[in-house]
Structure 1
């Protein structure tokens, strides 16, 4: 058996998949209730990971990094697709169930999440991968998308790095999620002016176009195109308003005319 290669300082660390989560308005929770709320989030995440048959990050040396109001979870790269689907949908569903059973004195639990992949040194967590994961989590696009979740009765929004999207959704490795479930956007962070990366925003239960009005940094290509009927109706309407005259050289029905022209005067006299 060949001896393992000796690691050099400039060697690229092994690639890992990363999921970051963050509780909305954690700092506004009364101090006496912070620990209980955070414990509830940890229990929900642990249960959903088990449901998705995902490994426990705490069994990987350095695989769990507490961030106070959230955490960064590390996984082997082979499970990347499951970190998108079914994890995100089931995590949102678990938060919905929690809300239905929540005592009035307990805070509402809403989460932002991000999913990324890249080389990362353990157990010291040195590398751009963890920095980019947290910035995707804190991006303006991800924060704004949480309003879409609230308005639709959801409790989760997630920002995927472009490489995660390409390896999972675009590659067809997500069974219940397709491209229309994601909004193409640009991740920017207010206090990190040098950070700007393409990302995909996902709000479980919504399509990308439904989230689009909430996100300032949505890519222009993500805007919903006008239906063909609306595009062709404008010239016809303009012609009608200008008093244009139309001659038909074959028999037509009134509905056919009305669908194309706003106002029409039909002369039914036989010639």
Structure 2
């Protein structure tokens, strides 16, 4: 049997999938109700993970990192697609159900989430992957997308790193979500001026174009081709008199060629 390789300081750590969640306005909840609200969020997340047949992050050493008003959950990278679909949609649905049953004295629960994948050492959580995950979570685009969720009766907005989007949605591994459910944007964080990364914003129940008006860092939409085709090769040879000779060597689709044509001769000879 081959002996296991000895880990060197410059070795790349194993890749992990990361999901971060954060409660909106947690600091505004009365202190006496903070613990109960956080417990409700933990119960909702645990229930949804089980529904999606996802492993319990707390079974992985260092797989659960509490952040006070949220948490960072670590998963094997093989389940990455399920962290996008169905997890995000079911998490929003669970928050909707909670709202319908919520006591008037309990705070509203709205969440921001982010999904990323990358190398990360455990159990110390050292690596860019966890930093990028939290910055995607805190990005201006993700915060603004939560306003779109509010206006549509939803309770969740999520930011996916570009690599997550490419490996899951673009690769066709999400059954109920397609590219039109995502908005291409740039993730920026106000107090992290050196951070700027492409991302995809998702609000369950909305398409990307529906979220666009809310997000100032949305990528510019691709310019649509002009609806009026121009002649690919046309020449006009003026002659004496009021008319002229028009020679078109390509398809012409313009509605009007000239104000008036007195005499029209079509030359059907093959060149």
Bucket of the pairwise TM-score, normalised by the shorter protein: 0.7 to 0.9
Using a 3 Å threshold, how does the CA distance of structure 1 residues 32 and 254 change in structure 2: closer, same or farther?
A: same
SS of the residue corresponding to residue 33 of structure 1 reads: helix
Q: CA RMSD in A?
A: 6.8
Separation of aligned partners in 2, 1:80 and 1:128: 18
Residue 125 of structure 1 corresponds to 125
- 8 Å CA contact retained: 2:231, 2:250: no
Structure 2: tracts of 5 or more residues without a match: none
Aligned positions, number: 271
- 8 Å CA contact retained: 2:232, 2:250: no
Separation of aligned partners in 2, 1:153 and 1:261: 60
Separation of aligned partners in 1, 2:241 and 2:169: 47
Deviates more, 1:152-161 or 1:245-254: 245-254
Structure 1: tracts of 5 or more residues without a match: none
Give the superposition deviation at 1:221: 2.4
Deviates more, 1:235-244 or 1:189-198: 235-244
- 8 Å CA contact retained: 2:235, 2:246: no
- 8 Å CA contact retained: 2:236, 2:247: no
Deviates more, 1:224-233 or 1:86-95: 224-233
Deviates more, 1:257-266 or 1:82-91: 257-266
Using a 3 Å threshold, how does the CA distance of structure 1 residues 52 and 232 change in structure 2: closer, same or farther?
A: farther
Using a 3 Å threshold, how does the CA distance of structure 1 residues 14 and 236 change in structure 2: closer, same or farther?
A: farther
TM-score normalised by L of structure 1: 0.83
Separation of aligned partners in 2, 1:107 and 1:238: 79
Residue 4 of structure 2 corresponds to 4
Residue 228 of structure 1 corresponds to 228
Separation of aligned partners in 2, 1:19 and 1:46: 13
Give the superposition deviation at 1:236: 23
SS of the residue corresponding to residue 78 of structure 1 reads: helix
- 8 Å CA contact retained: 1:212, 1:223: no
Cα deviation, 1:216-238, whole Å, max 9, x if unaligned, reads 00000268999999999999999
Using a 3 Å threshold, how does the CA distance of structure 1 residues 20 and 40 change in structure 2: closer, same or farther?
A: same
Using a 3 Å threshold, how does the CA distance of structure 1 residues 197 and 270 change in structure 2: closer, same or farther?
A: closer
Cα deviation, 1:9-38, whole Å, max 9, x if unaligned, reads 000000000000000000000000000000
Cα deviation, 1:58-90, whole Å, max 9, x if unaligned, reads 000000000000000000000000000000000
TM-score normalised by L of structure 2: 0.83
4+ long deviations beyond 2 Å: 221-271
Using a 3 Å threshold, how does the CA distance of structure 1 residues 105 and 220 change in structure 2: closer, same or farther?
A: same
SS of the residue corresponding to residue 229 of structure 2 reads: helix
Deviates more, 1:255-264 or 1:41-50: 255-264
SS of the residue corresponding to residue 210 of structure 2 reads: helix
Deviates more, 1:94-103 or 1:218-227: 218-227
Separation of aligned partners in 2, 1:167 and 1:87: 16
- 8 Å CA contact retained: 2:111, 2:155: yes
Using a 3 Å threshold, how does the CA distance of structure 1 residues 251 and 125 change in structure 2: closer, same or farther?
A: closer
Cα deviation, 1:150-201, whole Å, max 9, x if unaligned, reads 0000000000000000000000000000000000000000000000000000
